Chain A
Amino acid sequence: MAEQARSLEINEALEFQNRFMRVQRVLAIVAVLVLLVAVAGVFGTGPLAHATTTGTRGLRVDFDRFVRAEASTDIVVTLPGGKGKTNVAIDNGYLDKTEIGQVSPEPSDVTALPDRTIYTVQQTPPSHVRFNITPQKAGVYHVTIWAGGGRQVRFTQIVYP
């Protein structure tokens, strides 16, 4: 219904506008908080995103716990001690939902088993194997990584759309 501002016929909906301005102020604060949280890494790439987990017999994995779909991330597997050829395996449940880019050092062999894919690399201490991975779909990923000598580590990654 039109309101009269003297001779001006106009529908200001003042009550709605006042309420909406309050909503705007709240949402502005929320936006700033979301930005701060993003800078901290909750949406990927930042101090809160980075994590390290240690599995059995000294196997260590550095990874980003928060990543975004179609954005690449690195998983770095650190093998304790030893020399020569060693195997690092990643479960196929994770690999089916991601794209593997570069693996460094380059594996001499890649073997696909029903539940995992094994990458054979030349290990020289300190041995880091870096997997560049691009998740394809949003979701919560539970990842298992195995290494030679019965070592195993598990971690969880949250992938945003």
Chain B
Amino acid sequence: MIPVARALAMYLFLLVLVRVSGKRTLAEVTVFDFILLLIISECTQQAMTGNDFSVTNGFLLVLTLVTVDRLSDWVTSRSERIDQVVSDAPLVLVDEGRVLHDRLKASHMRVDEILEAARTDQGLERLDQIKYAVLERSGGISVIPSKDD
């Protein structure tokens, strides 16, 4: 029971923590985000295994995590509400060329990050070339360029 309980507890705690920390953490945008995710995996490993390094314990931990993950996929596919709670929803940051500054601020983001995504994904040079920019659930930014008339 203990391995299953440990794995479950860590999974749920990390799920809540990552959801609360905001979308951009998942996208590993900055060096800090990358290091954070790297170190988190190290911290959780010992908490889950404890002093039990047996193969059986390893199997149980992995099985618990994969099962919970599959279960959450099944539940979120059946309930839009639960899906939003667990996986969030996309957020439009640039609407028809207009930057929505209040949403940028609420998401702790700057226009520079949108421009970076625009350059990386679409090869765009300026803000006025962006029709829509969406902060996706994954933390990444999708950019839809304006069509040239």
Contacts and interface: CB of A to CB of B under 8 A. Distances in A.
Interface of A: 5-6, 8, 10-13, 16-17, 20-21, 23-24, 27-28, 31, 70
A10 B22 contact: no
B22 A24 contact: yes
Interface string B14-31: 000000101000000000
Interface in B55-101: 81, 84-85, 88-92, 95-96
Given A24-B22, A28-B20, A70-B50, A16 B84 contact: yes
Contact of A6 (B90, B91, B95): B95
Contact of B106 (A12, A16, A21): A21
Q: Which 8 A-B pairs have the closest CB atoms?
A: A13-B89, A27-B20, A8-B132, A5-B92, A6-B96, A16-B84, A13-B84, A24-B20
Nearest to B50: A70
Contacts of A70: 50-51
Contact of B90 (A11, A20, A28, A31): A11
A20 B22 CA distance: 10
B134 A10 contact: yes
Contacts of A21: 106
Interface residues of B, number: 18
A13 B80 CA distance: 10
B144 interface: yes
Nearest to B106: A21
Given A11-B90, A16-B84, 14 more contacts: A5-B92, A5-B132, A6-B95, A8-B92, A8-B95, A8-B132, A10-B92, A11-B89, A12-B92, A13-B84, A16-B89, A20-B88, A28-B20, A31-B20
Interface of B: 20, 22, 50-51, 81, 84-85, 88-92, 95-96, 106, 132, 134, 144
B143 to A, nearest CB: 12
15 contacts: A5-B132, A6-B95, A6-B96, A8-B95, A8-B144, A10-B90, A11-B89, A12-B92, A13-B84, A16-B81, A16-B89, A20-B88, A23-B20, A28-B20, A70-B51
Nearest to B5: A161
B113 to A, nearest CB: 18
Contacts of A11: 89-90
Contacts of B50: 70
A28 B22 CA distance: 11
Nearest to A69: B50
A17 B91 contact: yes
B69 to A, nearest CB: 22
B95 A5 contact: yes
A106 B53 CA distance: 31
